[in-house]
């Protein structure tokens, strides 16, 4: 999948301008990628249609390559669609005690998420939270919540056998009011699938307590089913947000996009594991990258744009193509790497360069080494930086001593410079600048 998108990207970077056909070809692949990520067909179709319109309209932009342009438009549109609230982690829990109703199918992760969220409210917002299980069908489920409550240090409503869900809900409200709790969370029973009894029960509970938030907890790996479940619950009780669980799995998270597109409900949190702290605020950027399934090219483009002027990059490119790569150029590369968060993060973001990054870090090329290399270059004269070939034994000794290092350190730097110069030359000849040009912009 990422190979396929990477391929489209490569092809497009080698062409001068973005034609309608280019966009169409690229978007056909994007559509397949979305479907593979488990986005539903109508949503994928609709999404691609929107991007098509935007992309073709923007075809004249010169400052980025056509491939970057398409990828960026796709990415931005994904983020825009996925974004529901500015601050999805902020729940409406002002008037104490605020009821939060947790709904969803059985096994979706309701009980786990209830405890995770309670822990979060307690630790991050200093709230006093009470949890109550309304799962009267499975006594084990009530104990499960109690055990989790003990684990995270959050109170649970004492279990009384034989009570109906609505009565438990009322008791929870009473206890929360008397006990001075800020929030009380109601963990409802689920079913294997939507059924009338379940829906009626949830509706009754909802009416009894008028929840400030009704959070639907769904398994993020179930794709289309998750969306249908969301629609059902929303029609019956009105949901205020969604928690997608099992986002730690291999799934590409396409359910998130369908969920947003179809229900319009904000995704608030994602569950990333079974542990009690494996709950994070929903971040559209991250899911977008995951759905696209490629190295985070967009982030690289944006970061790099901030740090190097486009003209400067052009000029450098022309020199590199001619095989001119000075110590100052190398120093600049090092400094860029530092700014962009280190060697591995820079190369890791480029498709196909992950391996190079690994090799380099395997060879002990980390950020500490970068600092030492910069110190060595600083210790050279202008002439030496332009022409490292002139470095003889005596000059080497002087430079190394100046930087407080050994000649062997300097030799390593010189070797790296030669390799980089070679690589730059080759990359420069590839396409019209190809990957390197992208990295520079």
Q: Is 165 in the site for ligand GDP (CB under 6 A)?
A: no
- Per CB under 6 A, the list member of 29, 36, 125, 248 interacting with ligand GDP is 248
Quote the longest CA-to-CA distance of the chain.
Answer: 91
**Binding residue per annotation — 190?**
yes
Nearer to Mg ion, 71 or 186 (CB): 186
Sequence-separated (6 or more) residues with CB below 8 Å from residue 55: 18, 23, 26, 27, 69, 70, 73
- Per CB under 6 A, the list member of 81, 156, 214, 245 interacting with ligand GDP is 245
From residue 123, alpha-carbon distances to 114, 172, 292, 407 in Å are 14, 21, 34, 53
* SS percent in the chain: helix, strand, coil, step 5: 60, 10, 30
> Under rule CB under 6 A, which residues in 252-271 are in contact with ligand GDP?
271
Closest-approach residue to Mg ion (CB): 111
**Binding residue per annotation — 246?**
yes
Give the interface segment with Mg ion, choosing from 49-57, 106-114, 304-312, 406-414 (CB under 5 A): 106-114
> Under rule CB under 6 A, which residues in 275-304 are in contact with ligand GDP?
278
- Per CB under 6 A, the list member of 88, 149, 165, 190 interacting with ligand GDP is 190
From residue 283, alpha-carbon distances to 23, 199, 253, 286 in Å are 27, 30, 12, 6
- Per CB under 5 A, the list member of 111, 113, 206, 438 interacting with Mg ion is 111
Give yes or no for a contact between 414 and 318, defined as CB atoms under 8 angstroms apart. no
Q: Is 156 in the site for Mg ion (CB under 5 A)?
A: no
109 binding partner (options ligand GDP, Mg ion, none; Cβ < 5 to 8 Å by kind): ligand GDP
Give the interface segment with ligand GDP, choosing from 17-25, 118-126, 178-186, 245-253 (CB under 6 A): 245-253
Closest-approach residue to ligand GDP (CB): 271
Give the interface segment with Mg ion, choosing from 140-148, 196-204, 308-316, 388-396 (CB under 5 A): 140-148
Q: In the block, which residue shows the tokens 């059902």?
A: 232
Query: Quick one: 420 exposed, middle or buried, by C-beta within 10 A (0-12, 13-18, 19+)?
Result: middle
Nearer to ligand GDP, 47 or 269 (CB): 269
CA distance 423 to 421: 5
Going by C-alpha positions, the residue among 193, 243, 175 that lies closest to residue 214 is 243
Question: The tokens of 136 are what?
Answer: 């009267």
Residue list for the binding site: 104-111, 187-191, 245-248
User: Which residues of the shown chain bind ligand GDP in the complex (CB under 6 A)?
Assistant: 104, 106-112, 190, 217, 245-246, 248, 271-274, 278
């Amino acid at each position: 999948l990422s190979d396929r998108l990477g391929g489209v990207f490569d092809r497009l970077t080698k062409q001068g301008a973005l034609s309608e056909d280019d966009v169409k070809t690229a978007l056909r692949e994007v559509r397949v990628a979305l479907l593979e990520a488990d986005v539903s067909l109508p949503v994928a179709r609709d999404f691609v249609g929107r991007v098509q319109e935007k992309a073709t309209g923007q075809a004249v932009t010169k400052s980025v390559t056509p491939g970057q342009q398409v990828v960026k438009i796709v990415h931005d549109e994904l983020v825009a669609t996925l974004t529901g609230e500015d601050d999805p982690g902020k729940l409406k829990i002002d008037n104490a005690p605020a009821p939060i109703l947790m709904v969803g199918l059985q096994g979706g992760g309701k009980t786990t998420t209830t405890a995770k969220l309670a822990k979060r409210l307690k630790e991050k917002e200093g709230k006093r939270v009470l949890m109550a299980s309304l799962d009267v069908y499975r006594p084990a489920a009530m104990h499960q919540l109690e055990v989790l409550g003990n684990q995270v240090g959050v109170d649970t409503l004492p279990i009384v056998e034989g009570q109906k869900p609505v009565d438990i809900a009322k008791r929870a409200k009473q206890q929360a009011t008397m006990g001075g709790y800020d929030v009380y969370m109601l963990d409802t029973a689920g079913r294997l699938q939507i059924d009338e009894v379940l829906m009626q029960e949830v509706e009754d509970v909802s009416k009894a307590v008028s929840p400030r938030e009704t959070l639907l907890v769904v398994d993020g790996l179930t794709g289309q089913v998750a969306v249908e479940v969301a629609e059902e619950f929303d029609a019956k009780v009105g949901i205020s947000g969604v928690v997608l669980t099992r986002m730690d799995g291999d799934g590409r998270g396409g359910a998130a996009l369908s969920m947003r597109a179809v229900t319009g409900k904000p995704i608030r949190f994602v569950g990333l594991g079974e542990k009690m702290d494996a709950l994070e605020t929903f971040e559209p950027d991250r899911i977008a990258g995951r759905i696209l399934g490629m190295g985070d090219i967009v982030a690289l483009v944006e970061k790099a744009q901030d740090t190097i002027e486009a003209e400067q990059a052009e000029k450098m490119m022309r020199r590199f193509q001619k095989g001119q790569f000075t110590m100052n150029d190398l120093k600049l590369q090092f400094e860029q790497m530092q700014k962009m968060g280190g060697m591995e993060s820079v190369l890791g973001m480029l498709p196909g360069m992950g391996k190079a990054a690994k090799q380099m870090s395997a060879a002990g090329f980390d950020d500490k080494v970068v600092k030492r290399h910069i110190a060595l270059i600083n210790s050279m004269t202008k002439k030496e930086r332009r022409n490292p070939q002139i470095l003889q034994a005596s000059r080497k000794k002087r430079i190394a001593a100046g930087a407080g290092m050994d000649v062997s350190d300097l030799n390593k730097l010189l070797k790296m410079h030669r390799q980089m110069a070679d690589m730059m030359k080759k990359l420069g000849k590839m396409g019209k600048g190809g990957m390197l040009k992208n990295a520079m912009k």
